[in-house]
Amino acid sequence: MLAPSAGGAAGGAKGQGAAATRGAARFLLPVAECFDSFYTILEELQRDSWPCAADQRPPRSTGVALSAAVSLLEAAHRNFGARIMMFLGGPCTQGPGMVVSNQKEETIRSHHDMEKDNNLCRFVKKVTRTLTAGIWVAFFSRMATQRYRCSQATKFYDEYANKCVANGHAVDLYSCALDQCGVMEMRKLVNQTGGYFLIAEAFEHPTFKNSLAKSFASDDKQNLRMGFGAQMDVLTSREFKVCGAIGPCASLNKKTSCEYSSFI
């Protein structure tokens, strides 16, 4: 997978960035230059010819696919508006980001399974984090804490969500399957990057088709109605402290006197 190397001097970093862009050009091209080939590939797509046992789920490496997409965009278009669109037809069953085994007799974890800590939660790491519950701007309000479980898959997807935020890229999740796809573990990919999230029964469902077409809506000048890389700074008086934000955003990790000691 392609990944940006650490830069040294300004000239060296610029040269490394140009080299990375040239390397990524093997995989990323403007639509105008590859439309015919891309359309031909889509027309010739077929179901996986490898047989899958009736009592097993198809092998899916969602985490590996996400890693490849993030690495390509990070190498070629860092800090440049871009989207990663993930079309999920089922849960990840192998590799990083795995949320359930490929055996259909084992159902994917539920909230009740997490409370009971049974065998269906063996992919969930027994680690707890502390969440702080409170209002967005608090007047030194009392904060309530609660504990929740953090899975290995959640940690994996959270790390790539942070990478996408740093690179200025958005991630869209289109989950179209009757089975759960592990969206709980991937929630930060959408929540922190400002992407789209859609659940439907199948990719042939009108809800999916209409929503996908609407996501590419354009204005009178044929510009896509999208925005990337927006930043917001909140400055408060001494009596108030910021302890979080509501909505699809992520912290800039800037330490100021306006921040509260605990965060939502």
Do strands 169-176 and 82-88 pair parallel, antiparallel, or not at all (unpaired)?
parallel
Mean pLDDT value across residues 116-128: 64
pLDDT at residue 239 in the model: 84
Residue 60 zone, left/alpha/beta (φ > 0; ψ -120 to 50; rest)? beta
Place of tokens 């959270």: 158
**What is the pLDDT confidence band of residue 142, given thresholds at 50, 70 and 90?**
very low
Map residue 84 onto helix, strand or coil: strand
Taking alpha carbons only, the member of 114, 113, 85 closest to residue 175 is 85
pLDDT at residue 229 in the model: 82
Domains in the chain, number: 1
- Among 35-44, 142-151, 156-165, name the one with the lowest average pLDDT: 142-151
pLDDT at residue 133 in the model: 38
pLDDT beyond 80 at 15: no
- Whether 239 is in a domain gets the answer no
pLDDT beyond 50 at 35: yes
- Whether 171 is in a domain gets the answer yes
Between these two residues, 41 and 255, which has the higher pLDDT value? 41
pLDDT at residue 123 in the model: 66
- Whether 161 is in a domain gets the answer yes
Helices 62-76 and 10-24 sit at what angle, rounded to 10 degrees?
Answer: 130
Taking alpha carbons only, the member of 60, 151, 54 closest to residue 105 is 54
- Whether 192 is in a domain gets the answer yes
CATH number of the domain enclosing 199: 3.40.50.410
Domain with 80, as residue range(s), is: 47-134+143-216
Q: Tell me the whole-structure pTM to 2 decimals.
A: 0.75
- Whether 104 is in a domain gets the answer yes
Count CB-CB contacts under 10 A for residue 262.
16
pLDDT at residue 30 in the model: 79
**What is the pLDDT confidence band of residue 135, given thresholds at 50, 70 and 90?**
very low
